[in-house]
């Protein structure tokens, strides 16, 4: 994916930049016309952390999941069919670009090998997804990503994206609410999107990013012990 259409997806939840600051595509697998899942569900962190640490991270995660604005989601809730497809893909492209930005920062600052592996996977898979979704918009509707829709989500995540990832912990703390935004939007896409490919992408996001959130919380819980 060529990064250039926006910085972030901020979909769902209450705006609370302080929660992100204090505690604050990984990728969607390749969602081609065949609906084949990619690498996103295979987190390198799956076995990281113990029960006690996991419980602590779960509690922490509940305060982070919706630490973003809601204007992107509110816009999508008013749309269906063609208009929804264009808005959904445009916002998800921006969402992926935000993930790439954070992952590239993590590659420069992370100390742990597992974190660098996660970040590298985000860059590779979500770059591919940006190219695919941009192609869908052109192929299906003859339009580029909507700047207006991307402006909404960029504003929603402005506070988060203003804070660089400077340590392993910050990568996971940023990615948890970022993933939750994609999950919230994808749930809406299952009933509002008109293209089966978009719905397949949404199902992959739901499966893969829920699993990754759980893995990230385990890492955070373990690191807090």
pLDDT in tens, 39-82: 444 466 654 444 444 444 444 444 344 457 899 999 999 999 99
Per CATH, domain 44-223 is 1.20.1260.10 = yes
Which stretches of the chain score pLDDT less than 70?
Answer: 1-67, 225
Tell the residue number behind the tokens 């065949």, with chain if given: 34
CA distance 17 to 23: 10
Backbone φ and ψ for 181, nearest 5 degrees, come out as -60, -40
Query: What is this structure's pTM?
Result: 0.72
Task: Report pLDDT for 43.
Answer: 61
C-beta atoms surrounding 71 within 10 Å: 18
Residue 14 φ/ψ region, left for φ over 0, alpha for ψ in the -120 to 50 degree band, beta for the rest: beta
C-beta atoms surrounding 218 within 10 Å: 23
């Amino acid at each position: 994916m060529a990064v250039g259409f926006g910085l972030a997806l901020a979909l769902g939840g209450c705006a609370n930049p302080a929660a992100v600051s204090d505690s604050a595509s990984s990728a969607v697998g390749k969602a081609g016309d065949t609906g084949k899942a990619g690498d996103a569900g295979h987190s390198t962190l799956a076995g990281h952390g113990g029960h006690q640490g996991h419980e602590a991270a779960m509690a922490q995660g509940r305060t982070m999941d919706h630490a973003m604005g809601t204007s992107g989601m509110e816009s999508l809730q008013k749309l269906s069919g063609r208009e929804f497809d264009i808005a959904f893909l445009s916002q998800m492209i921006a969402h992926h670009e935000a993930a790439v930005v954070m992952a590239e920062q993590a590659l420069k600052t992370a100390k742990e090998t597992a974190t660098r592996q996660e970040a590298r996977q985000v860059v590779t898979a979500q770059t591919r997804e940006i190219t695919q979704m941009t192609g869908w918009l052109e192929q299906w509707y003859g339009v580029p990503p909507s700047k207006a829709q991307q402006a909404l989500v960029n504003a929603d995540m402005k506070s988060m994206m203003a804070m660089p990832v400077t340590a392993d912990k910050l990568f996971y703390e940023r990615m948890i609410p970022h993933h939750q935004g994609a999950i919230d939007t994808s749930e809406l896409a299952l009933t509002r999107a008109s293209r089966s490919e978009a719905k397949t992408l949404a199902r992959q996001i739901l499966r893969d990013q829920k699993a990754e959130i759980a893995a990230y919380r385990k890492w955070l819980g373990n690191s807090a012990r």
